[in-house]
Amino acid sequence: MGRSYFVEEAVEKYLSGLQAAPGSCLTGLLAGQSSPQKDFVVLAVQTPQRESEVQPESSRGGSALDGIDVAWLTEHAKQVSRMLPGGLCILGMFLVTAPELSKDANNTLKRLIFAMEKYVTKGRLWDPSEEDVTDRAALHICSKTKKAVCKTFDVKDPKSSAKPADWKYQTGVSSSWPMLICSVELDLQIFLKGSDSTDKCMKDALSRWAKQIEAGVCLIGGRQVLDEAELVLSQKKNSKTSPRQTLPVRILISEEMSEVDERSTAQVQVCSGSMTIRGVVHCRAYVHNNKPKAKHAAKAIKRDIINTVSSRVEMFLEDLLISDGSLKVNFSSLFLCDYMFPDESSADVAERLKEMLDWETPEEDIDISLEVFPSGSEKTDSISDEVMTSIISENHEVKKTSKYYADTQVVERCALSVCLHVRTHFTWNFTDAIQLFGSSWRQ
Amino acid sequence: MVYPEECDIIFRVKGVVEFSCQLENPNSPQSQSIISKSFQLLQWKLSSKNVVFSICKSPVILWPNVSFQSSMESLTGASACGDVLQYIESDDCGGRKSSKKKDKKRSEPTVVNIKLLFEVTNPTGTEAPSLIQVGTQQHSVKMPMPLDCIVSVTADVSLLTVCTKLVEALGKQLSDMEEVVLQYRKGSSFLVPQPFHFLLPEPAGLSTVVYPAGVPDSQLQALREALHKKFKLLTDRPYLRRANAFHFPDEVNKDGYLRNPHMYLNPPNIENAKLYQVHGVYSYHHYMQDRVDDDGWGCAYRSLQTICSWFQQQGYVDTAVPSHTQIQQALVDVGDKEPRFVGSRQWIGSIEVQAVLNQMLGVTSKIMFVSQGSDLATKGRELANHFLTEGTPIMIGGGVLAHTILGVMWSENTGHIRYLILDPHYTGGEDLQTIIDKGWCGWKGPEFWDQNAYYNLCLPQRPKTI
Residue B139, number of CB atoms within 10 A of its CB: 18
User: Contacts of residue B213 in chain A, CB cutoff 8 Å?
Assistant: 263-265
User: Contacts of residue B44 in chain A, CB cutoff 8 Å?
Assistant: 392, 396
pLDDT at B4: 55
Compute the nearest-CA separation of A224 from chain B (Å): 6
Predicted structure pTM score: 0.79
Grouping H, G, I as helix, E, B as strand and the rest as coil, residue A278 is strand
Grouping H, G, I as helix, E, B as strand and the rest as coil, residue A84 is coil
Summarize the confidence of residues A63-84 as an average pLDDT.
85
- Render pLDDT for B285-331 as a digit per residue (tens, 0 to 9): 999 999 999 999 999 999 999 999 999 998 888 889 999 999 999 99
**Model confidence at A179: pLDDT above 50:** yes
The residue type at B330: A
Compute the nearest-CA separation of A177 from chain B (Å): 22
The residue type at A400: K
Based on the fold, state whether residues B225 and B285 are members of the same structural domain. no
- What is the edge-to-edge ordering of all strands in the sheet holding A432-435? A367-369, A419-422, A432-435
Residue B447, number of CB atoms within 10 A of its CB: 10
Based on the fold, state whether residues B322 and B229 are members of the same structural domain. no
Based on the fold, state whether residues B122 and B268 are members of the same structural domain. no
Confidence of residue B78 (pLDDT cuts 50, 70, 90): confident
What is the distance between the alpha carbons of residues B248 and B206, in angstroms, rounded to a whole number?
11
What is the distance between the alpha carbons of residues B301 and B424, in angstroms, rounded to a whole number?
9
What is the distance between the alpha carbons of residues A87 and A89, in angstroms, rounded to a whole number?
7
pLDDT at B164: 95
Confidence of residue A242 (pLDDT cuts 50, 70, 90): low
The residue type at A60: R
Summarize the confidence of residues A29-43 as an average pLDDT.
90
User: Contacts of residue A249 in chain B, CB cutoff 8 Å?
Assistant: 121
Range of lowest pLDDT (A17-26, A144-153, A294-303): A17-26
CB B191 within 8 A of CB B205: no
- Render pLDDT for B80-127 as a digit per residue (tens, 0 to 9): 998 999 999 876 544 444 443 433 334 678 999 999 999 999 988 877
Q: Return the top range by mean pLDDT from A124-133, A394-403, B258-267.
A: B258-267
Asked whether residue B254 is domain-assigned, the answer is no
Q: Is B127 on the interface with A (CB under 8 A)?
A: yes
pLDDT at A334: 19
pLDDT at A292: 86
**Model confidence at B145: pLDDT above 90:** yes
- Answer yes or no: do A255 and B120 touch at CB < 8 A: no
Confidence of residue B466 (pLDDT cuts 50, 70, 90): confident
pLDDT at A30: 94
Please identify which of the residues B262, B386, B423, B458 carries the catalytic annotation: B423
User: Contacts of residue B20 in chain A, CB cutoff 8 Å?
Assistant: 189
Is B423 among the residues known to form the active site? yes
User: Contacts of residue A250 in chain B, CB cutoff 8 Å?
Assistant: 119, 121-122
**Model confidence at A369: pLDDT above 80:** no
Asked whether residue B74 is domain-assigned, the answer is yes
| Torsion angle, alpha carbons of A372, A377, A381, A386, to 10 | -150
Confidence of residue A67 (pLDDT cuts 50, 70, 90): confident
Please classify residue B258 by burial: count the beta carbons closer than 10 Å to its beta carbon, then call 0-12 exposed, 13-18 middle and 19+ buried.
buried
What is the distance between the alpha carbons of residues A27 and A20, in angstroms, rounded to a whole number?
10
Q: Return the top range by mean pLDDT from A237-241, A431-435, B395-399.
A: B395-399
Asked whether residue B330 is domain-assigned, the answer is yes
What is the distance between the alpha carbons of residues B173 and B191, in angstroms, rounded to a whole number?
16
Q: Is B210 on the interface with A (CB under 8 A)?
A: no
- Render pLDDT for B247-296 as a digit per residue (tens, 0 to 9): 887 887 778 899 999 999 999 999 899 999 999 899 999 999 999 999 99
Residue B58 backbone dihedrals phi, psi, to 5 degrees: -155, 160
* First-to-last C-alpha distance (Å) of chain A: 44
Based on the fold, state whether residues B230 and B270 are members of the same structural domain. no
What is the distance between the alpha carbons of residues B399 and A321, in angstroms, rounded to a whole number?
87
Based on the fold, state whether residues B371 and B278 are members of the same structural domain. yes
Confidence of residue A323 (pLDDT cuts 50, 70, 90): low
Based on the fold, state whether residues B300 and B212 are members of the same structural domain. no
pLDDT at A355: 59
pLDDT at A429: 24
Q: b or e along B6-38 (b: 16 or more beta carbons within 10 Å of the residue's beta carbon)?
A: ebbbbbbbbbbbebbbbbeebeeeebeeebeeb
- Render pLDDT for B215-257 as a digit per residue (tens, 0 to 9): 999 899 999 999 999 999 988 888 999 988 998 878 877 788 9
**Model confidence at A251: pLDDT above 60:** yes
Compute the nearest-CA separation of A245 from chain B (Å): 19
Residue B127, number of CB atoms within 10 A of its CB: 21
User: Contacts of residue B71 in chain A, CB cutoff 8 Å?
Assistant: 219, 222-224
**Model confidence at B55: pLDDT above 60:** yes
Confidence of residue A273 (pLDDT cuts 50, 70, 90): confident
Based on the fold, state whether residues B198 and B265 are members of the same structural domain. no
Range of lowest pLDDT (A43-52, A132-141, B187-196, B293-302): A43-52
pLDDT at B339: 95
CB A88 within 8 A of CB A180: no
Domain boundaries, chain A: 4-49+64-170, 179-232+244-257+269-373
Please identify which of the residues B299, B308, B441, B458 carries the catalytic annotation: B299
pLDDT at B292: 94
Asked whether residue B325 is domain-assigned, the answer is yes
**Model confidence at A202: pLDDT above 50:** yes
Residues with Cβ < 8 Å from B210, sequence gap 6 or more?
B173, B176, B177, B179, B180, B193, B194, B195, B196
pLDDT at A404: 21
Is B299 among the residues known to form the active site? yes
CATH superfamily of A4-49+64-170: Cytidine Deaminase, domain 2 (3.40.140.10)
SS3 of chain B: CCCCCCCCEEEEEEEEEEEEEEECCCCCCHHHHHHHHHHHHHHHHHCCCCEEEEECCCCCEEECCCCCEECCCCCCCCCEHHHHHHHCCCCCCCCHHHHHCCCCCCCCCEEEEEEEEEECCCCCCCECCEEEEECCCEEEEEEEEEEEEEEEECCCCEHHHHHHHHHHHHHHHHHHHHHHHHHHCECCECECEEEEEEECCCCCCEEEEEEECCCCHHHHHHHHHHHHHHCCCCCCCCCCCHHHCCCCCCCCCCCCCCECHHHHCCCCCCCCCEEEECCCCCECCCCCHHHCCCCCCCHHHHHHHHHHHHHHHCCCCCCCCCCHHHHHHHHHHCCCCCHHHCCCCCCCCHHHHHHHHHHHHCCCEEEEEECCHHHHHHCHHHHHHHHHHCCCCEEEEECCEEEEEEEEEECCCCCCEEEEEECCCCCCCCCHHHHHHCCCEEEECHHHCCCCCCEEEEEECCCCCC
Search chain A and give the residue with CA nearest B52. Answer: A252
CB B422 within 8 A of CB B285: no
Asked whether residue B327 is domain-assigned, the answer is yes
- On average, the pLDDT of chain B sits at 90
What is the distance between the alpha carbons of residues B91 and B95, in angstroms, rounded to a whole number?
6
Q: Can you give the CATH number for the domain in which B332 is found?
A: 3.90.70.130
Range of lowest pLDDT (A261-265, A434-438, B124-128, B393-397): A434-438
- Answer yes or no: do A312 and B16 touch at CB < 8 A: no
Q: Which of B120, B122, B192 faces A266 most closely, judged by CB atoms?
A: B192
Confidence of residue A397 (pLDDT cuts 50, 70, 90): very low
Task: Using alpha carbons, select from A414, A411, A405 the residue that is nearest to residue A327.
Answer: A411
CA angle A172, A176, A181 (to 5 degrees): 135
Q: Which of A182, A274, A279 faces B128 most closely, judged by CB atoms?
A: A279
pLDDT at A376: 35
Based on the fold, state whether residues B266 and B239 are members of the same structural domain. no
pLDDT over 70, % of chain B: 95
Summarize the confidence of residues A13-24 as an average pLDDT.
82
Q: Return the top range by mean pLDDT from A10-24, A152-166, A260-274, B440-454.
A: B440-454
**Model confidence at B447: pLDDT above 60:** yes
Residue B188, number of CB atoms within 10 A of its CB: 17
Based on the fold, state whether residues B192 and B311 are members of the same structural domain. no
Summarize the confidence of residues B183-207 as an average pLDDT.
91
Query: How far does CA B197 lie from the centroid of its chain?
Result: 9
pLDDT at A210: 93
Q: b or e along A231-248 (b: 16 or more beta carbons within 10 Å of the residue's beta carbon)?
A: bebeeeeeeeeeeeeebe
Structural domains counted in chain B: 2
Based on the fold, state whether residues B33 and B93 are members of the same structural domain. yes
Residue B131 backbone dihedrals phi, psi, to 5 degrees: -115, 125
Regarding predicted confidence, which is higher, B278 or A19? B278
In angstroms, the Cα distances linking B310 to B213, B405, B461 are 24, 13, 12
Residue B253, number of CB atoms within 10 A of its CB: 12
The residue type at A11: V
pLDDT at A98: 85
- Answer yes or no: do B119 and A277 touch at CB < 8 A: no
- Render pLDDT for B410-426 as a digit per residue (tens, 0 to 9): 999 999 999 999 999 99
CB A65 within 8 A of CB A102: no
**Model confidence at A217: pLDDT above 60:** yes
pLDDT at A267: 86
- On average, the pLDDT of chain A sits at 71
Task: Using alpha carbons, select from A170, A157, A142 the residue that is nearest to residue A42.
Answer: A170
Structural domain of B414: 261-460
Summarize the confidence of residues A311-324 as an average pLDDT.
73
Q: Is B24 on the interface with A (CB under 8 A)?
A: no
Residue B37 backbone dihedrals phi, psi, to 5 degrees: -65, -40
Summarize the confidence of residues A223-236 as an average pLDDT.
76
Based on the fold, state whether residues B157 and B267 are members of the same structural domain. no
In angstroms, the Cα distances linking B65 to A185, B15, B157 are 18, 16, 18
Summarize the confidence of residues A380-384 as an average pLDDT.
24
Is B425 among the residues known to form the active site? yes
Summarize the confidence of residues B447-461 as an average pLDDT.
95
What is the distance between the alpha carbons of residues B140 and B127, in angstroms, rounded to a whole number?
27
Rg of chain B in Å (alpha carbons): 27
